[in-house]
Amino acid sequence: VVVEDQPDVSAVLSAYNQQGDPTLYEEYYSGLKHFIECSLDCHRAELSQLFYPLFVHMYLELVYNQHESEAKSFFERFHGDQECYYQDDLRVLSSLTKKEHMKGNETMLDFRTSKFVLRISRDSYQLLKRHLQEKQNNQIWNIVQEHLYIDIFDGMPRSKQQIDAMVGSLAGEAKREANKAKVFFGLLKEPEFDVPLDDEDEEGENEEGKPKKKKPKKDSVGSKSKKQDPNAPPQNRIPLPELKDSDKLDKIMNVKEAARRVRLGPDCLPSICFYTFLNAYQGLTAVDITDDSSMIVGGFADSTVRVWSVTPKKLRSVKTAADLSLIDKESDDVLERIMDEKTASELKILYGHSGPVYGTSFSPDRNYLLSCSEDGTVRLWSLQTFTCLVGYKGHNYPVWDTQFSPYGYYFVSGGHDRVARLWATDHYQPLRIFAGHLADVTCTRFHPNSNYIATGSADRTVRLWDVLNGNCVRIFTGHKGPIHSLAFSPNGRFLATGATDGRVLLWDIGHGLMVGELKGHTDTIYALRFSRDGEILASGSMDNTVRLWDAVKAFEDLETDDFTTATGHINLPENSQDLLLGTYMTKSTPVVHLHFTRRNLLLAAGAYSSQ
C-alpha cells in the first residue's frame, strides 16, 4: 500500500529545495561562527542564539537534498558547539540521516513549520544583516528570513544570563506579542452564606473571659471578598455550575477548618505527613488527594485505579435499587441509610482502563473521580457506586494528565497528540481543543477562577489558554526540559512550573514575565503545591526530596515595569538559597504528589523504590 503523504508534509519539506552548494555549508556556518565570536561582547550573546536554529535547518536542508555524507560531516563538526540544553534534540536529529526519515518525524515537521523565535536588539540585528549582505552569504540569509522569526526590540542588548533564562524551548522564545493579551487573573467572588457557630466555639470565647455578645450569632462569610477583585473575570464570563446544598455544607466546613489553619512562614514550617505506597509492584503512576483530605487515589501501571479512605470512615457503596425503595425518604438520616454497610472497606479497586493510568483527579464535591490512561481515554467514576460512568474518547494516543475544574463540571486533559481538551462531564465531545504545543502536553491545571487552563509540554514551554474562546494568552519559555508540574498561587496571580531540568520557575501571569527561579532539586519535579494562603511553595521530586520555599519573599518587590515587560530584560536574583526553607529526604521514595490540608498540614505521596 502506498501511503499518500499528507500534502502539507511534502509542501513543508519542499521548502528545503532551494539548495546552495552542499560542500560550502560548513564554510558558511564557520564563517558566521567566526563573525559572531569576534563581535563585541554585548552583541555576541544575542547573536549566539542563531547557532542552534541555523545548525538544525542547514543540517535538515543537506539531508533533504540527499547530501548524506556532507550532512554527516556538518553534524559532526558543529554539534559540539550547541548549548547543553539542546542535547536531547540533537540526539533525535542525529538519527535523521535520510530524506525518508524526515517525513515521519513530527517534531522535525514542527520545527520546519513554526518559525524559531529569537529576541534580538536592533543594533545586533543590523550588525548581522550587514555582515550577511556584505558576504553575499545568501544561503544563511535565506534561512534567517524563511525559518526564523526575529523579534527586534529597541534598547540595550540582553546579557548572556538574561538570554539563558528565557531560551531552551523547541521553538525558541515567545514573541513579545504572545504575552500581551489581557488576562483576568483575579479570583471570582465567593457566594455568601451564613456559618452557624459551633457550641464549642462559643464556650471557648467565654473561657477567655470576653463578653459573649462580641460575635454575632451568624458569621457572614464572604465578607472579606465582598469587593469584586479588579482583576477578576466577570462572574458569568463562563457558565459555572450552581452550588448544591451539599456544596454549601462543605464550604461551611471549609471555613471552620480555615479558622484553625496554621499561619505558615519561614519561622513556622508545615509538618509533612508522607504516604508511602509500599510493595506497589503494580507501578504507581499518579496520585490525587481530595480537597478535604479524606480520600487518596492511586493510578497504576497495571491499569487499575485504587481509592483509599485516609480517615477512620470506610468507603461504602450505595445500596441496590431494590433495597433503596424500602427506605423512608423523609427521614433525617436518609443519606446515611442509603449506604450499604456490607460494602464498607478501606480500599476500592476500579477496573476499566487497558493501559497505565497517568492522571487522576477527584471532583471538588467528592462524588466523582477522573482517570486518564495510555489507552487514550479519560474515565469518569462514581464514588457513590465505585463504577465507571463514562469513557471520554477524543485523544487517540496516551493521555498524560487530567484535572477537574475547581468548580467541578468541567475538566481538562492533555496527551501525546500535543493538544489539551476541555470537557464537561455531561458531553461526549470536548468543548474546546487547545492546539499549539509542538510536543506532548504533559500536565494540565485549571486557574483558581476556572477561566484559564495552564498546560506544560515536552516542547519545554508552558501555555495559558482562555477557556472562553480557546485562545492561547501566554507562552512561557525558559525550562530546559519537558514540564511535569504546574501550580497556581491561591491568589491567582502567579504560576510555578517544574520540569526535568530540576528547576522551579515562577511566573507573573498579569505581566507575562518570569520572576524567579528556584534551584536545588537534582531531578525531575513531579509535584508543586502552594500552601492554602500562598505563603509557602512545596516541591517534590524524583530526587526523593520535598523542598519548601518562601513564596512571600519570592514574589515581593517584583520589578515589573513596562520596560521589562516590553523587552524581556529580566534580572533574576540568585537567591535560591535564601528562599529555600527546608529540604526533607525520604529513604528511597520519589515524590509524585503534594497536598496541603485545609489546616496547612502538608501531605506527600510516592511509591517506595527498592533500587
Q: Which is it for strands 387-393 and 399-404: parallel, antiparallel or unpaired?
A: unpaired
- What lies within 8 Å, CB to CB, of 282 at 6+ separation is 300, 301, 302, 304
Q: C-alpha grid cell for residue 137?
A: 552569504
Of 2.40.160.210, 3.40.190.10, 1.10.10.10, 1.25.40.500, which CATH number belongs to 16-173?
A: 1.25.40.500
pTM: 0.87
Tally of CB atoms within 10 A around 203? 10
The reported pLDDT for the residue numbered 212 is 40
- DSSP assignment of 90-151 equals HHHHHT--SHHHHHH-HHHHHHHHSPEEEEEEHHHHHHHHHHHHHTT-HHHHHHHHHHEEEE
Cα separation, 49 vs 566, whole angstroms: 19
User: Rounded to the nearest 5 degrees, what angle is found at the Cα of 247, between the Cα atoms of 225 and 387?
Assistant: 140
Cα separation, 65 vs 68, whole angstroms: 8
The reported pLDDT for the residue numbered 563 is 53
Q: H-helix or E-strand containing 30?
A: helix 25-38
Work out the angle between the directed axes of helices 68-78 and 51-64 (0-180°, nearest 10): 160
pLDDT digits (tens, 9 = 90+) for 233-288: 998 899 998 888 888 888 888 888 888 898 998 999 999 999 999 888 788 999 99
The reported pLDDT for the residue numbered 173 is 87
Cα separation, 293 vs 286, whole angstroms: 16
Q: C-alpha grid cell for residue 574?
A: 540568585
Q: Is 444 helix (H, G, I), strand (E, B) or coil?
A: strand
The answer to whether 25 and 74 are in contact (CB under 8 A) is yes
User: Rounded to the nearest 5 degrees, what angle is found at the Cα of 352, between the Cα atoms of 348 and 357?
Assistant: 80
The reported pLDDT for the residue numbered 166 is 86
Beta strands across the sheet bearing 536-541: 525-530, 536-541, 545-550, 580-585
Cβ burial, residue 17 (10 Å; 0-12/13-18/19+): exposed
The reported pLDDT for the residue numbered 211 is 40
The answer to whether 204 and 181 are in contact (CB under 8 A) is no
Please give the backbone phi and psi of residue 607, each rounded to the nearest 5 degrees, phi first.
-105, 130
- What topology is assigned to 272-326+334-556+572-607 in CATH? Methylamine Dehydrogenase; Chain H (2.130.10)
Cα separation, 320 vs 601, whole angstroms: 38
The reported pLDDT for the residue numbered 353 is 96
The reported pLDDT for the residue numbered 551 is 93
Place of cell 535547518: 57
Cα separation, 279 vs 32, whole angstroms: 57
Q: Where are the beta strands (DSSP E) in 210-254?
A: 218-221
The answer to whether 255 and 221 are in contact (CB under 8 A) is yes
Domain ranges of the chain: 16-173, 272-326+334-556+572-607
The answer to whether 386 and 315 are in contact (CB under 8 A) is yes
The reported pLDDT for the residue numbered 114 is 76
Residue type, position 310, single letter: V
The reported pLDDT for the residue numbered 3 is 39
Q: C-alpha grid cell for residue 487?
A: 501550580
Q: C-alpha grid cell for residue 431?
A: 468543548
Tally of CB atoms within 10 A around 537? 28
Cβ burial, residue 343 (10 Å; 0-12/13-18/19+): middle
Spatial CA neighbour of 446 closest among 424, 417, 467: 467
Work out the angle between the directed axes of helices 25-38 and 51-64 (0-180°, nearest 10): 180
DSSP-derived secondary structure letter, 573? -
Cα separation, 462 vs 475, whole angstroms: 6
- DSSP assignment of 36-100 equals HHHS-HHHHHHHGGGHHHHHHHHHHHHHHTT-HHHHHHHHHHHGGGS-GGGHHHHHHHHT--SHH
Low-confidence residues in the chain, pLDDT < 70: 1-20, 107, 109, 136-137, 195-227, 557-569, 611
